Structure 1
Amino acid sequence: MRLHDALFNWLQMAIVVEGRPDDRSAHDTLNFFAEILAEDHQVDRVEIIKKDDTMIHVRYGNAEGTKVQLFNREAAEQLLHEINANPKYNS
């Protein structure tokens, strides 16, 4: 999986965990993408540092340095909206 895709998947799950803190599956999936970032891309820290009207800023890095990647906010939040709109996941 490409770094950009792994970061985006991590971000989507971080948003789901934030919106659904009791969702064990969301936590497990977030951890899964953190493992991919660590094992495949040597990323040992990742965090959301800023949200504005259109973008979410994600800082990630390792011993060699830190970078910031911007993601479209609407796209990143779409998974949470879809989960919340599905009655199957809201009982």
Structure 2
Amino acid sequence: MTLQDTIYNWLSIKRVAEERPNDVSAQDTYQFFEEILVKDHGIEELNVQEDEHLYHVYYVKGKKQGHYQFPTELVDALLQSIESEPKYNQ
């Protein structure tokens, strides 16, 4: 999985985990992607900022800083999908 894909997945499940703190599966999946970022990609630091249309993810890998941006509706789609599914809201 590329770094960009991993950060996107991490950010999407991070949103779910923040909104659903009692959802054990969401918390476990969030930790899983965080471990991939650290162990497989060597990410040392992550910072997320949100504006009206985008999530900006700033990271440090080695001595280099990087940045990705993702549309908010794309990142929030996982949370909206989970929230709209009755079996996940019992």
Query: Structure 2: which amino acid aligns with 1:15?
Result: R
For residue 10 of structure 1, report the CA deviation from its aligned partner. 0.3
Q: Which moved more, 1:29-38 or 1:54-63?
A: 54-63
Gaps of 5+ in 2: none
Runs of 4+ residues over 6 Å off in structure 1: none
Q: Give the CA RMSD over aligned residues.
A: 1.2
The residue correspondences of 1:4-15 to structure 2 (distance < 5 A) are 4-15=4-15
Q: How many residue pairs end up in the alignment?
A: 90
Q: SS at 1:44's partner residue?
A: strand
- Which residue does the alignment assign to 2:40? 40
Q: TM-score normalised to the size of structure 2?
A: 0.91
Separation in structure 2 between the aligned mates of residue 28 and residue 45 of structure 1, nearest angstrom: 20
Gaps of 5+ in 1: none
Query: Structure 2: which amino acid aligns with 1:75?
Result: L
For residue 44 of structure 1, report the CA deviation from its aligned partner. 2.1
Separation in structure 2 between the aligned mates of residue 14 and residue 89 of structure 1, nearest angstrom: 17
Q: TM-score normalised to the size of structure 1?
A: 0.91
For residue 73 of structure 1, report the CA deviation from its aligned partner. 0.7
- Which residue does the alignment assign to 1:70? 69
Percent of aligned positions that are identical: 39
Residue 52 (structure 2) pairs with residue 53 (structure 1): yes
Separation in structure 2 between the aligned mates of residue 26 and residue 61 of structure 1, nearest angstrom: 25
For residue 38 of structure 1, report the CA deviation from its aligned partner. 1.2
Separation in structure 2 between the aligned mates of residue 41 and residue 60 of structure 1, nearest angstrom: 11
Separation in structure 2 between the aligned mates of residue 28 and residue 44 of structure 1, nearest angstrom: 20
